[in-house]
Structure 1
Amino acid sequence: MDEEKKEKMKRSLMFSAADIMKSIGILAAASCVGFLFEQLGFAEANIITVYVFAVLIISVVTVNRVYSLAASIVSVLIFNFLFTYPKFTLHAYEQGYPVTFLIMFAAALLTGTLATKLKDSAKQSGRAAFRMKVLLDTNQLLQQARNREEIISGTANQIVKLLNRDIIVYQVKEKSLGEAVFFPAEAENCEERFQEYQKERSVAVCAFHNNRHAGATTKTYGEAKCLYLAVRVSDAVYGVIGIAIGEQPLEEFERNILLSILGECALALENEKNAREKEEAAILAKNEQLRADLLRAISHDLRTPLTSISGNASNLMSNGKSFDNETKQNLYQDIYDDAMWLINLVENLLSVTRLEEGRLNLHISAELVDEVVQEALRHINRLRTEHTISVENEDDLLLAKMDARLIVQVLINIVDNAIKYTPKGSHISIRTMRNEDWAVISISDDGPGISDENKKQIFDMFYSGANQIVDSRRSLGLGLSLCKSIVNAHGGTICVEDNLPHGTIFTFTLPVEEIKLPE
């Protein structure tokens, strides 16, 4: 800070050739006007006023108040030399002239001083307005930022815009400084400058560990080319920003704005961190809840088929010789049905896990929709014989882009649901058609239907609704959630609606594949 004050004082004592020429020109113009007033017979008071006005102009157009002080003295001497008797000498014989000169000097000096203060005040007001604008723009940019990178880049670009200096940024990653990111003020030779600044990484590390300024204009690594400042809130440091100093240190005004911007940046980074941790905590809590729901559902839903399998197997082992063939066949069929139900459950669980982890790879190809429907019906469980299932194709050659294995699973899940939730003898209809660029597949039944309240949650994971399944076995509620995920992964949509007068219609879409005929 002492070095900055000395530098500022040194600059205030430096004389500018341009300001000197301005002062000489204004005093010369005032003298010409004075000669004109003298020729016109105006009183000396009018000429004195011209010189006072000239001093006022000089104080406004020059940088330093030294010029207005010097102009006040020189204007008195010029007036004495040109307009008092004897002329063209610095002598004044009349008794009242010394008082006139003193009043003229005082008036010129006071006028020049007031004008200089007014100019400085206007300059300070302009700086304050500029500072508020920069801070406001920075605040708006940081509010619109969506992640750490946008916060850092927005802050660095604002500092470059404010100071017109090179900026180098180190983000804190895993409690240490990451790689440097360079924001040049000028594009010319920026790569060379970046390499030079990277050699000062140890200075940035010092600023990070000590949580204080380091580098140029400080006592710590003062020979460095950049001034390194920690982006921090209290003791939490989120990064280090280096500002190229060179031969021109930051002014106090620039430093204050810079610290304000870094404070805004640190707060934005802290808010982003808190929001990210809150989101991660919410995801973790959701995953824990899903895991608990899954375990609870599995503990209930696996008990019935496993108990049935073990009971039937125990009967066959203990009393198999006393059972007739029909009884044995029924027991074998029950064991098979329960085993197939468990296999379907495991398939759904594996598919849901792959979808959640992003490991479900789609193998898209052009497939005949009718063939996929027929393949799905071959895997439907034996209960389909208790229902009437029909298929209606508006176009037997309808092609769609799909992963056939996954779409077969979608059809199996929806048709299985229709079988489970409708009474024996119900009619299930599968209809395929084309609607512009989409293949539309709908599965309808004439069962009791789904209430409007349940429709809102029917595709949620682990939701099975209030309906009772015909074989009294609970559903895990994974089937329709999995269907929605698979269809969405294909770029299609899935929905549920009422089938009048009663029943339900599930409809999903897939992208159409055009048939290319050979020329």
Structure 2
Amino acid sequence: MPRDASDTRANPDLLLKAIEQDGSPDEIRNGRGHLKIFFGYAAGVGKTYAMLQAAHAAKRRGVDVVAGYIEPHERPATARLARGIECLPHELVEHNGITLSEFDLDAAIMRAPQLILVDELAHTNAPGNRHEKRYQDVEELLRAGIDVYTTVNVQHIESLNDIVASITGIVVSERIPDRIFDDADQVELVDIEPEDLLERLRAGLVYHPDQADRAQQYFFTIENLTALREIALRRCADRTSRLTDAARVLGNRDYYTSERILVCISPAPTNPRIVRAAARMAKAFRSELVALFVESPRTQAMDEGERAKLSANIALAEQLGAHMETVYGDDVAFQIAEFARLSGISKIVMGRTGEHSGVRQVLFGRKSLVEQLIAFAPNLDIYIIPDQETPPSRPMERKHQTALQPPSGRDVLRTLGLSLVATAIGVSFRHLGFADSSIISLYILTALLTAVTTTGRLCTIMSSVLSVVLYNFCFVTPLFSLNSYDRSYLVTFAIMFATAMVAGELTARITNSARTSAENAFRTRVLLETNQLLQQAHGAEARARVAMNQLVKLLKLDVVFYTADRSLLGKAIYEPAGSEDHSASLLTDYERAVATWTYANNKHAGASTRTLPEASCLYLAVRTGDEVFGVMGIALNGRELEDFEHSIVLSIVGECALALESDKAAKEREEAAVLARNEQLRANLLRSIGHDLRTPLTAISGSAAVLREGDEKLTPEQRRNLADAIYDDSLWLIDTVENLLAITRVEDGSIHLNLTTELIDEVIAGALSHVARASRGHTITVKRNDDDILLVRIDVHLIMQVLTNLIMNAFKYTPENSTITIGAHREGKFIVVEVADNGPGVADCDKPHVFDQFFISSKAQPVDSHRSFGLGLSLCRSIVEAHGGIIEVRDNHPRGAVFCFTLPAEEIEIHE
């Protein structure tokens, strides 16, 4: 499909080619590259220069070094040092009429050097690139097994952003997650004195003179540089300390009980500051960071802007290494305290917005969230981060905004109808002589019913106002007027209005709580059903469809699943959420390319992520650990998953992965059993060959030696007897080898039937001619069927082998002068062939096993016991069953055994 010129998405062909160049996911994970960061506290300290020096040293050691992207700072010394290193061509991207030069990730992966240089790790890529950030490009290079040298400054570390901004007054937008810095294999601090850096700046070695003057006025001051240098040194020291502690633990030298720090997430604009402070604290205490969001009926009333801020704050917490959790409840403080108690939290970090302070706290006696939390969790360390930059987000304001949202026409009609019905009933109460208090209670009941049966609070307010107005108009003297002779009614009206409002508000809260509980119960039920349905399903595709159906039920969105086929994705399974089929737009080459990238890199990608966000679906790897069993795609259609929805989705995908892993394990166990059975077959064959072939081969070689060396001493009769013995043993070996080859073809499934229509009498005659020489000492009788022509559709060669094996088996297990009877007759749509003898027969205990491989009767005494593999009858059963028949053994009366098998009969067509 041709691509539009305005389409800035990554080319799917190039994307798939890059993935294929990477290799399989197992190879990627087993051969991850090493990352070295050259770290500085400001531009111009010499990070790029130090990186190029290290690259030349690596090249002298024989390492294949390539410069993927070197920032063009126009510094002569750096430019000279870059010479002699192979440079990849940059990717030119058009954006807003400007041509931007970007790092070409696909070209780097296809070149696959041992070491690549990628400058400016925190750089933001131009729109249309596969990843939003350059550090994501570097991560993909590392997964491809390529070592990377890169550079970054201290102001680009996410958790240090607030500190750097408070020092310099400049907020840096290009940042990297702390995990990139902490997980690097090596970090080399490139450090010079601030005075030396200022000298370089004034000398024009960092920026152009005009740029240097502006930088020296705003950023490059001795105070700023000294503070930034201290932060960089401390950050490197913290990393070194953590590495030392990790080595100590691995060496069993010491033991530390790490603390768990909890940070509270909210949609407040200053919540990122709290999250970063908690992340710094977690690093300082070397503890785990947990982020918690408490969803309540009040938070469900958030508008789109607040939800966007909440999602951004959650993403920031996860980026800083926090483990995200969501709980539900009306009492936020109690939920936080209970979660902390059950999860082993030792410290809580939260912001203070001044909520419930001042007059409201004095009048209503309500404690602030912080005070409530201290009361619920007195033993926890609670750290309060002052929030003074923006006014707090007040729940009452959100309620008011929600209440003022226009109600639907149906709700307005329902409100008016309830008020009119209450008035009519009130009129009847007045005629019956009821007191005014009964009528007032009736209107309060109307407000309650309105709150229960309508959505939003505006209808409840309208009902309260209508109750006061209608009561005044219809039941207060003078009637049918809004005037009142008794001023005490004003107090009645106020109390009536307040009571209706409070009752309606409480009812609305209960209704919202019930609605929220129902939604949560539904989602939880979907998750519980998923496990049960996955256990009942059989096969990878069936289990994948169960997970897809559960996701469709939960999200009401289309779902796509790509099965895993070794190192690439296999076929796509599509499950629509409604009657419309959107598979044409969801199963494109680009979507498959994004799904393949997700599979190869074991990471989320697509819509609502920072990797290939132009895709229509959010792609999640169905994985357990590092093993990926497929890719699940959810067509978001422009919406974002709520936090709880996202956790349920991950749980369903995880359950699906566990089920697929169980299927794989069962398949591996089955293959192992088949392998063990084949190994046993091979061992039995070798044992039988070693034991049973040795005797005829020895006899053949001995007879041949006698003929060769004693020709003059042997009489003609003796020579003939020796030649007959050699001939008989050779025929037995030929038959044995044919049986071995046939049973091998049957075992591996490569046997093919060459079916033709034959007379069964001719087949029997052919088999008898084959065993004629071995029939000495036995009498063979053939029952002729002159009344009917018996035609069968068979593979002649294989059925003759069956008859030969059965006749030879009768020769071996019956004494001389025994009679072998062969016959055939019709039974319905089958021809029954029988081979009977009057020998000792088959013992009852041997009949169930006589057709098993390598079975030799322990009670019957064969004539030539050394000539038996126990394969002939097993081969007969396999051939007969391949023709659609059955074979069995029964007793022959008065003595002996009868082996019979059935073959499909072929009808004779008569043309007149």
State the TM-score, normalized to the length of structure 1: 0.90
2:895 equivalent in structure 1: 502
SS at match of 2:766: helix
- Tell me, in whole angstroms, the C-alpha distance in 2 between the residues paired with 1:207 and 1:238: 11
- Determine whether 1:512 maps to 2:905: yes
SS at match of 1:430: strand
Aligned residue type for 1:49: S
Aligned residue type for 1:312: S
1:326 to 1:199, Cα distance in 2 relative to 1, 3 A:
same
1:147 equivalent in structure 2: 539
Are 1:165 and 1:185, in contact at CA under 8 Å, matched by a contact in 2? yes
Deviation at 1:10, TM superposition (A): 2.4
1:320 to 1:69, Cα distance in 2 relative to 1, 3 A:
farther
For each residue in 1:374-424, what CA deviation from the matched residue of structure 2 results, as whole angstroms up to 9, or x when unmatched?
Answer: 110001152312111111133552111211111110000011001001111
SS at match of 1:321: coil
2:155 equivalent in structure 1: none
**Same amino acid, percent of matched pairs:** 47
Deviation at 1:240, TM superposition (A): 1.8
Q: State which of 691, 695, 700 in structure 2 corresponds to 1:300.
A: 691
Are 1:487 and 1:510, in contact at CA under 8 Å, matched by a contact in 2? yes
Are 1:225 and 1:246, in contact at CA under 8 Å, matched by a contact in 2? yes
Deviation at 1:53, TM superposition (A): 1.5
- Tell me, in whole angstroms, the C-alpha distance in 1 between the residues paired with 2:689 and 2:730: 15
1:133 to 1:510, Cα distance in 2 relative to 1, 3 A:
farther
Are 1:337 and 1:381, in contact at CA under 8 Å, matched by a contact in 2? no
Q: How does 1:276-425 map to 2 (within 5 A)?
A: 276-380=667-771, 382-394=773-785, 395=787, 397-425=789-817
Are 1:213 and 1:230, in contact at CA under 8 Å, matched by a contact in 2? yes
Are 1:370 and 1:396, in contact at CA under 8 Å, matched by a contact in 2? no
SS at match of 1:390: strand
For each residue in 1:238-294, what CA deviation from the matched residue of structure 2 results, as whole angstroms up to 9, or x when unmatched?
Answer: 222111122444455654543443233222111111101110111111111111111
1:209 to 1:355, Cα distance in 2 relative to 1, 3 A:
closer
SS at match of 2:562: strand
- Tell me, in whole angstroms, the C-alpha distance in 1 between the residues paired with 2:633 and 2:745: 45
- Tell me, in whole angstroms, the C-alpha distance in 1 between the residues paired with 2:620 and 2:492: 58
Deviation at 1:8, TM superposition (A): 5.3
1:268 equivalent in structure 2: 659
1:200 to 1:401, Cα distance in 2 relative to 1, 3 A:
closer
- Tell me, in whole angstroms, the C-alpha distance in 2 between the residues paired with 1:97 and 1:187: 59
1:206 to 1:355, Cα distance in 2 relative to 1, 3 A:
closer
Deviates more, 1:110-119 or 1:472-481: 110-119
1:486 to 1:454, Cα distance in 2 relative to 1, 3 A:
same
Are 1:393 and 1:433, in contact at CA under 8 Å, matched by a contact in 2? no
- Determine whether 1:459 maps to 2:851: yes
Q: How does 1:243-254 map to 2 (within 5 A)?
A: 243-251=634-642, 254=645
Gaps of 5+ in 2: 1-264, 268-292, 305-398
RMSD: 2.9
Deviates more, 1:498-507 or 1:57-66: 57-66
- Determine whether 1:489 maps to 2:882: yes
- Determine whether 1:9 maps to 2:302: yes
SS at match of 1:464: coil
1:61 equivalent in structure 2: 453
Deviation at 1:70, TM superposition (A): 4.9
1:308 to 1:172, Cα distance in 2 relative to 1, 3 A:
same
SS at match of 1:442: strand
Deviation at 1:97, TM superposition (A): 3.3
Deviation at 1:334, TM superposition (A): 0.4
1:54 to 1:176, Cα distance in 2 relative to 1, 3 A:
same
1:90 to 1:239, Cα distance in 2 relative to 1, 3 A:
farther
Deviation at 1:456, TM superposition (A): 1.5
Are 1:168 and 1:241, in contact at CA under 8 Å, matched by a contact in 2? yes
- Tell me, in whole angstroms, the C-alpha distance in 2 between the residues paired with 1:85 and 1:10: 46
1:225 equivalent in structure 2: 616
Deviation at 1:146, TM superposition (A): 2.5
Deviation at 1:201, TM superposition (A): 3.8
Aligned residue type for 1:380: V
Deviation at 1:95, TM superposition (A): 5.3
1:44 equivalent in structure 2: 436
1:229 to 1:465, Cα distance in 2 relative to 1, 3 A:
same
State the TM-score, normalized to the length of structure 2: 0.53
Are 2:523 and 2:554, in contact at CA under 8 Å, matched by a contact in 1? no
2:830 equivalent in structure 1: 438
Q: State which of 566, 584, 606 in structure 2 corresponds to 1:215.
A: 606
SS at match of 1:422: coil
Aligned residue type for 1:458: V
For each residue in 1:433-491, what CA deviation from the matched residue of structure 2 results, as whole angstroms up to 9, or x when unmatched?
Answer: 11111100111111111122221211111222224431242411110010000000000
1:328 to 1:367, Cα distance in 2 relative to 1, 3 A:
same
Structure with the largest fraction of helix: 1
1:163 equivalent in structure 2: 555
Figure out how many residues of one structure are paired with residues of the other and give that number: 518
Q: How does 1:116-127 map to 2 (within 5 A)?
A: 116-124=508-516, 126-127=518-519
